Amino acid sequence: MEMSNFINAQNFDVIIVGSGGAGLTLALSLPDHFKIALLAKSHLNDASTYFAQGGVAAVLHESDSIQQHIEDTLIAGAFLCETQAVQQTVEGGKAAVDFLLGQGVQFTLDEDQNLHLTREGGHSKRRIIHAADATGKAISTTLVEKAMAKENIQIFENFIAIDLITSQKLGLDTDQNRAWGLYALNEKTEQVHTFLAPFTALACGGAMKAYLYTSNPDIATGDGIAMAYRAGCRVANMEFNQFHPTCLYHPQARSFLITEAMRGEGAYLRLPDGERFMLRFDERAELAPRDVVARAIDFEIKRLGIRHVWLDITHKPESFIIEHFPTLHARLLDLGIDICKEMIPVVPAAHYTCGGVMVDPHSQTDLSGLYAIGETAYTGLHGANRMASNSLLECFVYGLAAAKHIQSEHHQHVQLPVVPHWDTSQVTNADEDVVILQNWDELRQTMWNYVGIVRTTKRLERALHRIEMLKNEIAEYYNDYHVSKNLIELRNLVLVSEMIVRCAMQRKESRGLHYSLDYPEMSDQLHKTILMPPNFELKNSAINEPA
């Protein structure tokens, strides 16, 4: 293991990795006397939350009910959702919304000055609160502003977490393995810092940069999932990767998402000849769950040999379109597309990681003192397919739950151990960084071609073979050279890609987001796929309730 001679270890009460909705909710929900470190891999707003166009799903209207939201979630998740997690999340909707309103987030209001509710795929009712079509931006900028104003929150931008520090790694003779903090690279100075705390939370987002085409920001490299696994935490359901059906097909905006709310407000999907093809695949047409819509688009693109399909909202009044989708209208106009008069070229793109680090109802992982929140975590909420706008809700509900649990545990006096600093004495500067670029491109091509929307056993076997070779090359490179941002991300991505393939190979059925031509039917047996790291010990797990 490569370690620095940076001599100033920094001690905190809580370390939070990630500045999206999950991490910021935790940071802002802890008491002011807690000393908190908030690490952001890039700048604070560079997180998936910021780019979320849709909204937050919550039961807020008398025509809706908790039970209906639960049932919609279970159906969208192909009944693989954990009932306890669904109930906890849905019942926590009102408190989550109150938290956001309390922080000052400005949501869109209706004519009566109540929260305007829209509808998205899979939802039987209008229950999505939003800020026009840029909800994530409104939430992220507000929470970031609040965090920056807090004296007890110390912010570290451009700090990339490398690995967790645990009792096991330190060789401590304890009854239970525990997280004590982490090592992180300061990208600006290229120094590795030691962060120590009795509580660490991974809110690093998902891993969809494993795929060649994705709607995710560049930071989504599975860092939290990979670090937790290496530290001894179980990971579950990594085969369920959501491909958003409608990513803009345009050379100047490869990761630009066309919000699902547009289909919720009546947009149609069409083929080049104008056919509204979704009616052939599902009676819910454009409002079918995302996996159904993405597979239908993928099928038509391959059947016809076309590069994209069209999303059409031109049949709606111009005033309606601009009022509901002002950000989208302006952005596409800059790219030469007037959505009031022209159809939008769209393709599916890797969008959301439904699996992740297993946690309990408090967001605690198998490792005592370590929490995982948001897209990094597997709570059991999403099952085999995430329903639109449930993910932001999950961030806030479980962020609040983690804050409550950390407060309840904080009264116990924990003595931080003596931790060695990062040692660079056995490594040198890399001779050619082109090796990283080559492996990065090959990994993402492999995942896109063999582990995409439609899978086969043969494709998965080929993918695993290539990934294992890349993993060995990357491990050798990691051991020999100084760490860099690209190397850290590649090391994490190759491990998470392996997890996706191994989970997919375990699932001998087609369910939700996992569709196999070799196993096209849905099994009668419900099970989650669990990967146990070599250093996992069930008797030492901090998870008291099954997740």
Catalytic residues: 290
Q: Which two tokens stand for residue 523?
A: 């099994």
Report how far residue 359's alpha carbon sits from residue 398's, in angstroms, rounded to the nearest whole number: 10
Q: Which two tokens stand for residue 235?
A: 């990971």
How long, in residues, is the chain?
A: 547
Q: Alpha carbon 144 to chain centroid distance?
A: 18
Per DSSP, helices labelled H in 410-456 are: 434-450
Q: Is 315 helix (H, G, I), strand (E, B) or coil?
A: coil
Quote the strand ranges of 158-266, DSSP E.
159-166, 179-186, 191-196, 199-202, 235-236, 241-248
| C-alpha dihedral, 119 to 123 to 129 to 133, nearest 10° | -50
Smallest CA-to-CA distance from 54 within 290, 262, 359 is with 262
Contact 168, 535 (CB under 8 A): yes
How large is the C-alpha radius of gyration of the chain? Answer: 22
User: Hunting for tokens 């492996």 — which residue is that?
Assistant: 439
User: Hunting for tokens 């570290």 — which residue is that?
Assistant: 156
What helix, strand, coil percent values describe the chain, rounded to 5? 40, 20, 45
Burial of residue 250 (number of CB atoms within 10 Å: 0-12, 13-18, 19+): middle
Report how far residue 15's alpha carbon sits from residue 201's, in angstroms, rounded to the nearest whole number: 6
Q: In angstroms, how far is the first alpha carbon of the chain from the final one?
A: 32
Report how far residue 525's alpha carbon sits from residue 522's, in angstroms, rounded to the nearest whole number: 9
Smallest CA-to-CA distance from 96 within 389, 303, 372 is with 389
